[in-house]
Structure 1
Amino acid sequence: MTTLAPDLAERFRTDGFAFPVNALTPAEAEQALAGCHTYLRTVSAAGGALARYAAFPKIHLVASWADRIVHHPAILDAVEALLGPELLVWSTNLFVRPAHSGSSLAWHQDAVYLGLDGYQQHAARVWVALTDTTVANGTMRYARGSHLGGALPHRFSGSGLEDIMRGEEIAVDIDEAATVDVILNAGQCSVHHLAMAHCSGPNHTDAGRFNFAIDYVTPRVRPTAGEDSALLVRGADPGAFLPESRPASDFDQAALREFYAAVARRQKRIDQTVLGRGGKPGGDPARDGAQDRAQDPA
């Protein structure tokens, strides 16, 4: 009773990714995209921490459209097939590549920024397409099997503004013959290992690309240092994470209190991770969204 076929589960283990996984129906994807647009307008008008953390890392704590996605049975069934029956949502991220955006992101791994122990076997990122994702609109590219080498060294490829905006790049050559473009219809998703090397390109189309990413972990994952929190979505064991609660409604007072506490806690940990790598505090946990900061081009 899972949307992830056995061959895709094997591909996740060997290749480091699996797609396409059928998740949201077309109607659900359309509804989620509309909710996303409303959410972006609301947080932009509110300003402050809501605007600063609009794209990461706890969208699901204040937005009902995001809460519905992280609890979607088809997605949870797929992740359970990979990680087992005890599942927590550690982070949610919104990646927007506006129409005719020249932004691109260098080859990198998510794992080096997250400060998590146990992610190698007990975590996965689900990348949900709220719009179609194509080469033309700058979809992700995976480097097949790159997760097998664990966390790789990263560096900036140059000192120019464009190099800095593209982000840190894996300091190892990528075999272009092993790369795969993540082509999805709205409502479908891909699942990848947190050590999967990936990049993305510019959007040459007339429409924005919207993707919602969910980091699922099991109780066997632990923060490398400091307190952290997560939302239990299947099973009963929160592991080392402080428990989070679902929002009763969009931006209700209890949800806002939980959101502010959770993002402050997470940013403190991310800063520790970034400083440990020789970076500067205030680093972006959703580094894929560095240029694609949450905005609503509609």
Structure 2
Amino acid sequence: MRNKVTKAIFPVAGMGTRFLPATKSVPKEIMTLVDRPLVQYAIDEAREAGIKEFIFVTSRGKGALEDYFDHSPVLEQELRKKGKDDLLEVLKSTNMDSGAIAYIRQHKALGLGHAVWCARRLIANEPFAVILPDDVIAGEKSCLKQMVEAYEETGGNMVASMEVAPDKISSYGVLDVKEDMGAVVSANGMVEKPKAEDAPSNLAVIGRYVLSPTVLKNLNQMKQGAGGEIQLTDAIAQDIENDVPVYGYRFKGQRFDCGSKAGFLQATVAFALDRPELRDDLMGYINQVAQVSHAAE
């Protein structure tokens, strides 16, 4: 019987420079889609997948992120006094139990692989998940839950994957597909940010992983990869050489790249339209803008 995946690493040490000046004082992960910060979507997804221990790899200036998950007695008391029970329920989802969440500092920005390696002592010898909050995925069943269920059948390492256009492929880690079994593909290897003509497939890796602890041993070697950084994909690919299988998982859902301004705006609109209390007003405004734009042409 396989060990259950109950721990997840959230690499959130990045400075969010693409969102300056907003991120000068506010961590990017606290920026909101409608009325929930990016990191809340990641936490909710992890909880749905059965994650019990949440490990954040942070850096200087992320204090607001830590405060977000803490209890706020004064606010809660005020809401209780005013009888705003619905808002009290909303707050409950943002609170983390004592001991459920840990913060590890990444003192130097040496890459995603290094960020994951920083949490090695809290993972020990267990399988674990990695969630990149920049990738927000909407679906009936959360992406990570889909992956954990598939992992229980396959073991090894599993990465979320999706087809991308050739002109975008150089921004991703890419799978060298060994066998395509539909939702699950087995991989011969992984290549980080290849040129379009060198890409072994169009199946890109996005920010969800279920990994064997052997990946952490590979990261101990601290080999620099693409961009001079320590790449997580390189450590995963090395497992294949050590006879630990790697699988790609084609998840069901829509992925938004909230690490870019355009993706963040698209996600905001999509999640707002999914809210019954906002849909009609927002749709009316979108139609109005579209009509004015069409008339101007």
| Structure holding more helix per residue | 2
Instruction: Identify the structure with bigger relative contact order (alpha carbons < 8 Å, sequence gap 6+).
Output: 1
Tell me the TM-score normalised to structure 2 length: 0.29
Q: Normalising by structure 1, what TM-score? A: 0.29
